[in-house]
Structure 1
Amino acid sequence: MTEPTVTIYHNARCSNSRGALALIQAAGIEPRVIDYLKTPPDRATLEGLIRAAGLTPREVIRTKEAVYAELGLDGATDAALIDAMLAHPLLINRPFVVTPSGTRLCRPPEVVREILPA
């Protein structure tokens, strides 16, 4: 059996994440599913996902989570935002999907279609 060519950083409680996973599976692909709340990415992986998706840490952090306000992250630097996401993975927006065609933050879930293998 070959390794999956699609990886989703997934939170089963998130409708966007479930939607992206369903679209991947509907395309006949069984992706590698990483429950990033249980297995958070390390710094290099998180920074790589953000960079590959063409985003900034500010664009990826979940500002509506209580811990965001508790940590006072409104004026934080990119490095401080990354630190906060590593310490509190719930702050990482989801789902990130990685395929040979690219990396996207799939919000809305249909964004995944841009990078699914043919």
Structure 2
Amino acid sequence: MTDVTIFHNPACATSRNTLALIRHAGIEPTIVEYLKTPPSKEQLRELVAATGQGVRALLREKGTPYAELGLADPKWNDEQLLDFIVQHPILMNRPVVVTPLGTKLCRPSEGVLELLPVGQLAPFTKSDGEVVHDSGVRRGC
């Protein structure tokens, strides 16, 4: 599997662990540092649709202007929320991983295993010392 993309924030431990898990599987993904190269509104719309979740699932609250912008208010529709993410890329929750097996917000980081090729990986130790054991279960398999 070579067509893997991660929307990554190197300052985020979950994002770093997810990237490390992908590399642990022997895959070098395309890395999009979305704070440096923010996705367009159309790209965000496509990512949201591909995850099968709503826009709110892609919103990050912690360490963002979420509260000061009043984004918890249900008055904001999906298009408006996408506009906020375009204006403030830090609002995009991370990491989002795209593979031929699907697209997913990988929180916790071991969620990325569902998107990797079949074949059980050796245990992986996350940066906090937690050991991740691969069950071998994959989407679409």
Q: Above 0.5 in TM-score?
A: yes
Q: Indicate conservation of the 8 Å contact 1:99/1:117, yes or no.
A: no
Greater per-residue helix proportion: 1
Partner residue, 1:79: 79
Partner residue, 2:106: 106
Partner residue, 1:90: 90
Q: Percent identity?
A: 52
Which ranges of structure 1 fall in alignment gaps of 5 or more residues?
none
- Once the two structures are superposed, what CA deviation does each residue of 1:78-115 show, in whole Å capped at 9, x if it has no partner? 11111110100000000000001110100000010001
Which ranges of structure 2 fall in alignment gaps of 5 or more residues?
119-141
Q: Taking CA–CA contacts closer than 8 Å with sequence separation of 6 or more, which of the two structures ends up with the larger relative contact order?
A: 1
User: Aligned to 1:9, what secondary structure does the other structure show?
Assistant: strand
Partner residue, 1:28: 26
Greater radius of gyration (CA): 2
Kindly state the Cα deviation for residue 71 of structure 1 after the two structures are TM-superposed: 1.3
- Once the two structures are superposed, what CA deviation does each residue of 1:5-55 show, in whole Å capped at 9, x if it has no partner? 100000001111001100000000000001000000011111111111111
User: Aligned to 2:3, what secondary structure does the other structure show?
Assistant: coil
Distance 1:15 1:81, change over 3 A: same
Q: Indicate conservation of the 8 Å contact 1:85/1:92, yes or no.
A: yes
CA-based RMSD? 1.4
